[in-house]
């Protein structure tokens, strides 16, 4: 392009020769840079060549200005000056991130600018204002130098700001992760004493004869249950945040699960004068494989909310299941006739620690995290939880989860047979042993307690047990080692089922449980 324009001033031969040399220099520069990028351990010669190329291309480009300055054609020196000034500004902006490249590429243009007035005077000694070129050139060089310094400072400030922002982001992420881990640990640690309080309160309630003492025991139990719910929510959320929440995949009776869940909420609905209607339960498949406990957790949350926020009318649960490829999509729609939600409330409903949820939680109890956890659980189960609502028109929560069709587990003996079972509890923690003992006693079981894997093996050699509740992590011989040794031996309890402690949801088959799936 430039060559075409200069054609007028310099003649075709010189112009095209210049264009060819300049194009060759640029091609060479690109080739050298490409080679350097492909070779991380490039030779010194190659690196020096790449460093020298900006200066060489500048020398070639700027050379064009000299004949222009010397040309008697009108405006040719002006054009030469403009070419050099433009090239100088260009190399400063393009190479601004690297000082050495800037100096290397700018130096030839500065030198050309300094010698240009000589060329102009030598060629046209009588031209008017030839001396004025000196001032113009000096002014231009100083201006460009100041602009380059300003640009460099601005770029440095920007880089420092970026680095500082990145450092702060990293610190904030670390702080959030540490806080999450801390919340998870505290929640976990607090649940144990609460379990002991609950078990103790239940025992007290059944043992004391006086009505006043029973009431106090009930109060302790209710408060403990409330605390456990809050802590469970916090623990669930921190697990979900950390991506450590896993869902089970085991056969369960879907119809029975729905019936049990709804039965739990009938008294609350009845107490508020609400109708709790169920539609479609009869058309559900009976046995499916999925996570029944998590499904119940989500449905409990939806039903609890629906009953909590509905003053009159009904809560309707519509249940459907449809085939989707080789799986089933189970859907539960919980619709209420309550006060409903505004668009803004709907938008903020699934935001954890939202002020709106906190206010509602303060007013109605709960952690305000239930819906957040429910939606995450629904997504973990291959589905989603959505809501549609309008103020005064009630709310409609739609839960979808994916399950698989499953066969009814064979050979299921009827009736609960746990009363009087011979249970060995192995746990190194005294509070755990005591809490499990209290819970088991409420089932009519009087367990044998062992504080270590070694002690458990001794007992297993001398006594018959039906099942063992084993803490997996213990100092010394842990649960896995103890189980391995038991299975490897030929003692009377060699094939005893082992339930890891804390207990997990029921196993998929009747085989002994050793770990969570």
Partner 1 sequence: MNAHVAKPIDPSQLHAALSEVLRAGAARAAA
Residues that bind partner 1 (CB under 8 A): 184-185, 188-189, 191-195, 198-199, 228, 293, 410-413, 416-418, 421, 423, 428-429, 431-432, 435-436, 439-440, 442-443, 445, 466-467, 469, 471, 473-475, 497, 499, 501-507, 509-513
Provide the 3-class DSSP secondary structure of residue 76. helix
* Identity of the residue, 342 or 509, whose beta carbon is nearer to partner 1 in the bound complex: 509
Q: Which is nearer to partner 1, 82 or 517 (CB)?
A: 517
CB of 499 to partner 1, least distance (A): 5
CB 164 within 8 A of CB 105: no
CB of 489 to partner 1, least distance (A): 19
Shortest distance (Å) from residue 261 CB to partner 1: 13
DSSP-assigned beta bridge partners for residue 322: 329
Length of the chain: 517
Query: Residue 475: left (phi > 0), alpha (psi -120 to 50), or beta?
Result: beta
Query: By C-beta, is 141 or 225 nearer to partner 1?
Result: 225
Of 336 and 428, the one with the shorter C-beta distance to partner 1 is 428
For residue 418, give the nearest of 479, 503, 508 by alpha carbon: 503
- Helices 132-207 + 211-241 axis angle, to 10: 150
Q: Which of 32, 4, 8, 142 has its CA nearest to residue 85?
A: 142
The full 3-state SS of 84-140, as one line of letters, equals HHHHHHHHHHHCCCCHHHHHHHHHHHHHHHHHHHHHHHHHCCCCCCCCHHHHHHHHH
What's the closest the beta carbon of residue 431 comes to partner 1, in angstroms? 5
Rounded Cα–Cα distance for residues 255 and 270 (Å): 22
Torsion angle (degrees, nearest 10) of CA 166, 170, 171, 175: 150
CB closer to partner 1, 84 vs 513: 513
What is the rounded CA–CA span in Å between residue 123 and residue 325? 88
Nearer to partner 1, 144 or 469 (CB): 469
Q: What are phi and psi of 153, to 5 degrees?
A: -65, -45
For residues 231 and 198, what is the distance between their CA atoms, to the nearest angstrom? 14
In the complex with partner 1, which residue's Cβ is closer, 8 or 418?
418
Distance CA 238, CA 245 (A): 9
Hey, how many other C-beta atoms are within 10 angstroms of the C-beta on 205? 16
Shortest separation between residue 222's beta carbon and partner 1, angstroms: 15
Instruction: Reduce the DSSP state of residue 349 to 3 states and report it.
Output: coil
Taking the complex as a whole, the smallest distance from the CB of residue 473 to partner 1 amounts, in Å, to 3
Q: How far is the CB of 469 from partner 1 (least distance, A)?
A: 8
Closer to partner 1 at the Cβ: 27 or 431?
Answer: 431
Structural contact between residues 14 and 20, judged by C-beta atoms closer than 8 angstroms: no
Q: Which residue has the tokens 């500004």?
A: 89
Nearer to partner 1, 318 or 434 (CB): 434
Strand 287-290, strand 250-253: pairing: antiparallel
Q: Shortest gap between Cβ of 424 and partner 1 (angstroms)?
A: 12
Nearer to partner 1 by C-beta: 491 or 507? 507
Cβ distance to partner 1 smaller for residue 354 or 428 = 428
Tokens 């003053």 correspond to: 311
Question: Least separation, in Å, of the C-beta of 419 and partner 1?
Answer: 10
Q: How far is the CB of 475 from partner 1 (least distance, A)?
A: 6
Residue number with CB closer to partner 1 (193 or 489): 193
Say how many C-beta atoms besides its own lie within 10 A of residue 303's C-beta.
24
The closest alpha carbon to 305, from 367, 226, 390, belongs to 367
* CB-CB contact of 490 with 469 (8 Å): no
Cis peptide before 502 (omega within 30 of 0): yes
Report in angstroms how near the CB of residue 198 gets to partner 1 at its nearest.
Answer: 8
Least Cβ distance, residue 295 to partner 1 (angstroms): 14
């Amino acid at each position: 392009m430039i060559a075409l324009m200069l054609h007028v001033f310099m003649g075709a031969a010189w112009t095209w020769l210049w264009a060819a040399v300049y194009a060759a220099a640029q091609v060479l520069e690109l080739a050298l840079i490409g080679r350097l990028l492909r070779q991380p351990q490039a030779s010194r010669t190659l690196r020096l060549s790449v460093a020298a190329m900006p200066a060489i291309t500048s020398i070639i480009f700027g050379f064009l200005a000299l004949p222009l300055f010397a040309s008697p054609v009108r405006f040719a020196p002006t054009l030469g000056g403009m070419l050099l000034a433009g090239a100088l500004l260009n190399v400063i902006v393009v190479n601004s991130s690297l000082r050495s490249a800037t100096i290397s590429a700018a130096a030839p243009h500065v030198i050309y600018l300094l010698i240009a007035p000589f060329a102009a005077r030598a060629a046209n000694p009588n031209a008017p204002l030839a001396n004025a070129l000196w001032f113009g050139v000096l002014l231009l060089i100083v201006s460009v130098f100041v602009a380059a310094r300003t640009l460099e400072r601005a770029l440095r400030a920007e880089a420092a700001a970026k680095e500082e922002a990145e450092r702060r982001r990293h610190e904030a992420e670390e702080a959030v992760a540490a806080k999450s881990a801390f919340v998870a640990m505290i929640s976990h640690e607090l649940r144990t004493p609460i379990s002991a309080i609950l078990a103790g309160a239940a025992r007290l309630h059944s043992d004391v004869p006086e009505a006043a003492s029973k009431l106090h025991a009930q109060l302790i139990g209710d408060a403990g249950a409330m605390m456990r719910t809050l802590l469970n929510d916090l623990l669930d959320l921190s697990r979900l945040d950390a991506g450590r929440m896993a869902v089970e995949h085991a056969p369960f009776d879907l119809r029975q699960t729905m019936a049990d869940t709804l039965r739990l909420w009938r008294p609350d609905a009845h107490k508020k004068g609400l109708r709790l209607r169920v539609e479609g339960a009869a058309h559900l498949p009976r046995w499916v494989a999925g996570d029944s406990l998590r499904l119940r957790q989500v449905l409990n949350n939806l039903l609890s909310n629906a009953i909590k926020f509905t003053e009159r009318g009904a809560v309707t649960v519509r249940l459907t299941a449809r085939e989707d490829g080789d799986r089933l999509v189970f859907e539960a729609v919980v619709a209420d006739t309550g006060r409903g939600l505004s668009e803004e409330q709907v938008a903020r409903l699934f935001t954890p620690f939202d002020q709106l949820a906190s206010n509602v939680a303060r007013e109605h109890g709960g952690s305000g995290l239930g819906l957040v956890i429910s939606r995450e659980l629904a997504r973990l189960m291959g589905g989603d939880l959505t809501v549609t609502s309008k103020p005064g028109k009630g709310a409609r929560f739609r839960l979808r989860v994916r399950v698989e069709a499953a066969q009814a587990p064979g050979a299921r003996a009827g009736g609960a047979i746990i009363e009087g079972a011979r249970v060995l509890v192995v746990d190194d923690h005294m509070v755990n042993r005591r809490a499990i003992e209290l819970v088991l006693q409420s089932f009519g079981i009087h367990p044998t307690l062992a504080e270590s894997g070694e002690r458990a093996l001794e007992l297993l050699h001398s006594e018959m047990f039906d099942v063992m509740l084993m803490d997996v992590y213990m100092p010394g011989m842990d649960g896995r080692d103890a189980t391995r040794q038991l299975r490897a031996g030929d003692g009377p309890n060699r094939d005893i089922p082992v339930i890891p402690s804390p207990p997990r949801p029921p196993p998929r088959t009747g085989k002994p449980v050793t770990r969570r799936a």
